[in-house]
Amino acid sequence: MVDHDLLDHRLADVGIQGIARNWLCSFISGRGQRVALGREMSSRHSLVCGVLQGAILSPMLFNIFMRPLAQIIRSFGLGCHQYADDTQLYLLMDGHTDSAPYTLTRCLEAVAGWCRGSRLKLNPSKTEVLWLGQDGMGMRDQLPSLAGAQLVPLPSVKSLGVILDASLSMEAQVTATAKATFFHLRRIKQLVPYLSRPDLATVIHVTVIFRLDYCNSLYAGLPLKLSQKLQRVQNAAARLLTGSLPWEH
């Protein structure tokens, strides 16, 4: 969806000029695609938008293309985080709920207008709202719409693979992590007779331990009942690797 002409202008806006700009434009221009089905091949179709999937330069070019969106959001006093094609807006209410709809409405209208001007399409069905604080569901009728879809607060949302709930208790995240890791441990148990100890350790680290380690700084200060869930996963992984019995320490 990255329009090549618009990308050219935004390269200039961030100060990329001369040979570097010409080189980047030549990298994305003049490309085409075709579809192969068996021995049949379609005619070549020239591409006037998009960056190459898998190319090292493509994420950088996409970030440059999306850079003005964050500037627009911050101009309304909202915070903004962007990761790839995911954009998150943050609004501090300070207890004045009556100011949220107007501020959000103006900002979302500007976001929708920028997307149209950039030849991008919003997907309201994938837009989620998390209200951190009391009486979040009371905002259900006060939130604005986005591209014709009414926004409503949800009990939890997923941010970069981490489930956040309205109270930031991390209970949903811990429960989901424990469920996923125990599922993989049951599958790995079937492979124990066929793997050496080092290979078994590698499989456990790749499928189980990395899930416990991912964003584990968010687990600091967890209640005992939640930290015990994660501890049970580690104990089960250790028993599987060492061949220990369930009642052994």
* Same domain, yes or no: 132 and 99: yes
In a domain, 21, yes or no: yes
Instruction: Give yes or no: residues 145 and 175 share one domain.
Output: no
Residue in the block written with tokens 């006037």:
48
- Tokens coding 119: 């030849």
Burial class (CB in 10 A: 0-12, 13-18, 19+), 107: buried
Instruction: Classify residue 249: in a domain, yes or no.
Output: no
Residue 248 lies in a domain: no
Residue 212: inside a domain, yes or no?
Answer: yes
| Residue 165 located in a structural domain | no
Within 13 Å of residue 100, how many CA atoms lie on the same side as its CB? 23
107 lies in the same domain as 135: yes
Return the bridge partners of 3, or none.
49
- Do 150 and 232 lie in one domain? The reply is no
Predicted confidence at residue 44, as pLDDT, reads: 92
Domain boundary residue, one of 109, 129, 154: 154
What domain range is 29 assigned to?
4-154
* The predicted structure's pLDDT at residue 35: 94
Residues 74 and 144 in one domain: yes
pTM for the full predicted model = 0.76
Task: Name residue 150's beta-bridge partners.
Answer: 145
Confidence check: pLDDT of 163 > 90:
yes
CA neighbours closer than 13 Å in the CB half-sphere of residue 128: 14
Whole-number Å distance between alpha carbons of 178 and 196: 25
> Would residue 69 count as lying in a domain?
yes
Q: Of 104, 100, 115, 109, nearest to 69 (Cα)?
A: 115
Whether the predicted pLDDT of 183 surpasses 90: yes
Range 173-189 average pLDDT: 94
Question: What are the tens digits of pLDDT across the range 197-214?
Answer: 999 999 999 999 999 999
Q: In the chain, what percentage of residues exceed pLDDT 90?
A: 59
Examine the domain organization and report whether 51 and 111 are in the same domain.
yes
Specify the pairing of strand 149-150 against strand 145-146: antiparallel
Q: Are 220 and 170 in contact (CB under 8 A)?
A: no
Do 148 and 34 have their domain in common?
A: yes
Q: Please indicate, yes or no, whether residues 183 and 221 belong to a single structural domain of this protein.
A: yes
Q: What is d(CA 230, CA 214) in angstroms, rounded to the nearest whole number?
A: 12
127 and 22 assigned to the same domain:
yes
In a domain, 162, yes or no: no
Closest to 104 measured CA to CA, from 143, 69, 67:
143
Residue-level pLDDT at 203? 95
Q: Which residue has the higher pLDDT, 221 or 96?
A: 221
Count of domains forming the chain: 2
Domain C-terminal end among 90, 124, 154? 154
End-to-end alpha carbon distance in the chain: 56
Q: Is 199 inside a domain boundary?
A: yes
Could you tell me if 63 and 125 lie in one domain? yes
**How far is residue 31's CA from residue 45's CA, in Å, rounded to a whole number?**
9
Contact 156, 173 (CB under 8 A): no
pLDDT at 133 over 80: no
Q: Do 46 and 125 have their domain in common?
A: yes
Per-residue pLDDT of 99-132, as tens digits, reads 567 888 899 999 999 999 999 888 888 888 888 8
Measured from the Cβ of residue 238, the count of other Cβ atoms closer than 10 Å reads 11
Q: Per residue in 33-45, is it b (16+ CB within 10 Å) or e — as a string? A: eeeeeeeeeeeee
Domain boundary among 124, 154, 184: 154
pLDDT 10s digits, 13-32: 999 999 999 999 899 888 88
When pLDDT is averaged across residues 176-187 and rounded to a whole number, the result is: 95
My answer on whether 105 and 189 are in the same domain is: no
Overall average pLDDT of the 165-189 stretch: 93
Paired tokens of 143? 């939130």
What angle (nearest 5°) sits at the alpha carbon of residue 238, between those of residues 249 and 200? 150
